[in-house]
Structure 1
Amino acid sequence: MLIQLLYMGLLLVLIHVAVPLIYYIIILTYARRPWLINSINVNDGELPAVSIIIPTYNEENMILGKLDNILEQNYPLDKIQLIISDSSSDNTQVKVEEWLSRHRGVNLSYIKGPRMGKGHALNKALEAASGSIIVTTDADSLWVKDSLINAVKWLSNEQVGLVSCVKVPRGGGSTEDAYRRLYNTLRIGESKIHSTVVFHGELLAVKGDLIRSIGGFPTDIGADDSYTGVRVASMGLRAVIPENVVCMEYVPSNGYSRWRVRRAQHLLQSFMKSIKLPKPSNYKPIYYTEAYIHLMNPWLLPIGAILLLASGSLWAYALIAVGLVLLVWSPFRAWVTQQFILMYAMVRNLWTKELMWEKISK
């Protein structure tokens, strides 16, 4: 009986490690290959009008930097419509009005409403959006100078319906840096095959007619960005994250674990909501492998470890000791940390979706 526990534990741990490792190696080879589709070089005079939606809740400390960052983009100002969809109880609106008085040439609409979740805020702003490209962005993030125009150029390709960004963390230490490097490689490699599965609120650009045709953004889950991207990909269009669309993401120093768990909850909600959508044949391996890695694979690690300990084998104890030592290596530590975050997020989703959450300072 004990030897059976040992073998079963070893098998579960092996599957837990092998499946994502093999998948990562495969995707890494694609990430290093050239794109089989191209962004379209559009002359300044032909650039489409864009509506940039910024949903806000108590962003008085971040909103001015965000607005300045958008104006620093190398995109014609007369083709940018800014829409702030706000439910703040602080001085966000006062800050915006003061900023607007100093930037009178900016086309900015301010929509005030009750706090009902990000999806509701986005859809309310979508009603006022006039641009042929809709861009959503979080107030607590920054764009590299050419990110907006690069996203629009990708959307100029008729095969591409949605574009999101590579994320560079500001804060979070070595574990967050290692996690993001692995994460960005997967997003780019998957995009080069067909589409990725995880998209980012720091910058999400989608064709206006397309997002309206699907009824706007979802309001019943937290991952409006990821679900919208998967839905676009499920329609046969490409939903991609290119290397040249880059955003800076502020990582909270206080409440970091709570922030990670909430984000994991929202991503898992996207998988659960999108899993029944039809998928193009070359997107299915990406989507269902990622769904397995996020929803099922994390549980194999603790179950396997428990079986190894229960076996009483010295080999099992040695293997667990090696795993503990490997935690000093930041990529391995990032992976193990993410497994426990995903498991806790799955359990937490049973009683709360965290559609409206306590503000975390960054």
Structure 2
Amino acid sequence: MLTQLFYIGLSLVLIHVTVPLLYYFIILTYARKPWVIGPVNINEEELPTVSIIIPTYNEEGMIIGKLDNIVEQGYPLGKIQVIISDSSNDNTQAKVEEWLSNHRGVNLNYIKGPRLGKGHALNKALESALGSIIVTTDADSLWVKGSLLNAVKWLANEQVGLVSCIKTPRGGGLTEDAYRRLYNALRVGESKVHSSVVFHGELLAVKGSVIRSIGGFPTDIGADDSYTGVKVASMGLRAIIPRDVVCVEYVPSNGYGRWRIRRAQHLLQSFMKSIKLPKPSSYRPVYYTEAYIHLVNPWLLPIGAILLLASGNLWAYALVALGVVLLAWPSFRAWVTQQFILMYAMVRNLWTKELVWEKINK
């Protein structure tokens, strides 16, 4: 019996390790390959109109920097509509009005409403959006200059329905840096296969006709960004993350763990909601492997480790001890940390979806 426990535990740990490693090796190989599609160069006169939606809640400390960042993108201001969908009870509105008084050339709509969740705020703003391209963005993030124009150029390709960004973390330390380097490469590689599975609220650009055809953004889950991307991909369009669309993501110093768990909860909600959607054949290997890695694979690690220890085998103790030592390696530590975050997020989703959450200052 103890021998069986050893081999079962070892098998689970090996599956936990080898499936993601094999998948990542394949996807990282694609990340280094050239694109089979590309952006379309557009003359300034032909650039489409863009509606930029910013859902806000108590962003008085960040909103001015966000608005400045949009103006500094270099996209023609006459073709930009900014819509702030706000549910704040601080001085966000006053800050916006003060900023707008010094930027008369900016077309800005301010919508005030109750706090019902991000999806509701986005859909409320979508009713007033006039642009042929809809861009959603978080108030507490910044775009690297040129990213908006680059996203629009990718969307000019008739095969592309949605574009999101890679993310550069500001804060979080070595673990977050190691996690993001791998994460960004995977998102680009998946996009080169067909489409990614994870998308980002820091910059999500979608054709207006496409987002309206699917009824807007989901309101019953927290991952409006990722679910919308998968939904677009399920239509046969490409939903991609290229390297020239880049956002700076502020990582909270206080409440970092709660922040990571909430984000994991929302991503898992996206998988659970989107798993039954039809997928193009070239997208299925990416989507279903990522669904397995997020929903099933995390549980194999602790179950396998427990079975190894229960076997009483000296080799089992040595393997578990090796795993503990490897935690000193930032990439391995980032991976293990993410597994436990995913497991806790799955359990937490049983009693709360965190659709309206306590704000964490960054």
TM score, norm. by length of structure 1: 1.00
Paired residue secondary structure (2:229): helix
Instruction: Tell me how far apart the structure 2 counterparts of residues 100 and 318 of structure 1 sit (CA, whole Å).
Output: 63
Shift of 1:33: 0.3
Distance 1:232 1:44 in 2: 27
How many pairs does the alignment contain? 362
Structure 2 partner of 1:314: 314
2:326 corresponds to 1:326:
yes
- The residue number in structure 1 matching 2:178 is 178
Structure-1 separation of matches of 2:12 and 2:210: 43
**Aligned residue number for residue 215 of structure 1:** 215
- CA–CA separation in structure 2 for the residues paired with 1:186 and 1:14: 21
Structure-2 residue corresponding to 1:31: 31
The percentage of counterpart residues that share the same residue type is 83
Aligned residue in 2 for 1:340? 340
Aligned to 2:54: 54
**How far off its partner does 1:104 sit?**
0.8
Number of the residue aligned with 1:292? 292
Q: Identify the residue that residue 266 of structure 1 maps to in structure 2.
A: 266
1:226 aligns with 2:226: yes
Structure 2 unaligned spans of 5+? none
In 2, Cα distance between the equivalents of 1:74 and 1:26? Answer: 37
Give the AA of the match of 1:52. Answer: I
Give the Cα separation in 1 of the matches to 2:5 and 2:183.
33
**Counterpart for residue 353 of structure 2:** 353
Secondary structure of 2:249's partner?
Answer: strand
Give me the whole-angstrom Cα distance separating, in 1, the residues matched to 2:74 and 2:276.
40
Residue 78 of structure 1 corresponds to 78
Match of 2:100 in 1: 100
- Aligned counterparts of 2:19 and 2:187: Cα–Cα separation in 1: 17
Aligned partner of 2:195 in structure 1 is 195
CA distance in 1, matches of 2:343, 2:243: 30
Find the aligned partners of 1:343 and 1:358 in 2 and give their Cα distance. Answer: 21
Number of the residue aligned with 2:8: 8
Structure 2 match to 1:235:
235
Counterparts in 2 of 1:33-182, with a 5 A limit?
A: 33-182=33-182
Q: Name the SS for the 1:74 alignment partner.
A: coil
Equivalent position amino acid for 1:349 in 2: N
Instruction: Give 1:22's aligned amino acid.
Output: L
With normalisation by structure 2, the TM-score equals 1.00
Distance 1:348 1:252 in 2: 21
Letter in 1 for 2:45: G
How far apart are the structure 2 equivalents of 1:271 and 1:155?
24
Letter in 2 for 1:117: G
Distance in 1 (CA, whole Å) between partners of 2:279 and 2:38 is: 22
Shift of 1:217: 0.2
Q: Distance in 2 between matches of 1:182 and 1:3?
A: 36
Rounded to whole Å, the distance in 2 between the matches of 1:230 and 1:150 is: 21
SS at match of 1:130: coil
Deviations 1:141-195 (CA, angstroms, capped at 9, x unpaired):
0000000000000000000000000000000000000000111111000000100
Distance 2:54 2:42 in 1: 25
**Aligned partners of 2:245 and 2:94: how far apart in 1?**
31
Partner-residue secondary structure (3-state), 1:60: coil
C-alpha displacement of 1:37: 0.1
1:319: Cα distance to partner?
0.4
The C-alpha deviation readout for 1:213-252, integer Å capped at 9, x for no partner, is 1100000000000000000000000000000000000000
Q: Deviations over 1:299-321 (max 9, x none)?
A: 00000000000001110000011
Q: Which amino acid aligns with 1:294?
A: H
- Structure 2 residue matching 1:128: 3-state secondary structure: coil
Counterparts of 1:251 and 1:335 in 2: how far apart (Å)? Answer: 18
Q: Distance in 2 between matches of 1:318 and 1:38?
A: 50
Q: In the TM superposition, what is the alpha-carbon distance from 1:65 to its structure 2 partner?
A: 0.3
Partner of 2:277: 277
Equivalent position amino acid for 2:158 in 1: E
Alpha-carbon separation, structure 1, partners of 2:69 and 2:228: 25
CA distance in 1, matches of 2:314, 2:89: 59
| Structure 2 residue matching 1:335: 3-state secondary structure | helix
3-state SS of paired residue (1:328): coil
Q: Distance in 1 between matches of 2:244 and 2:210?
A: 23
State the 4+ residue runs in structure 1 displaced beyond 3 angstroms: none
CA distance in structure 1 between the aligned counterparts of 2:74 and 2:147, rounded to whole angstroms: 9
1:74 is displaced (CA, Å) by 1.6
In structure 1, what residue type is equivalent to 2:254?
N
Rounded Cα–Cα distance in structure 2 between residues aligned with 1:273 and 1:50:
29
Please give the alpha-carbon distance, in whole angstroms, between the structure 1 residues aligned to 2:140 and 2:92. 13
Quick one: distance in 2 between partners of 1:281 and 1:296?
Answer: 22
Give the Cα–Cα distance (whole angstroms) in 2 for the partners of residues 9 and 56 of structure 1.
Answer: 47
Residue 114 of structure 1: CA displacement? 0.3
- Partners of 1:360 and 1:97 in 2: how far apart? 24
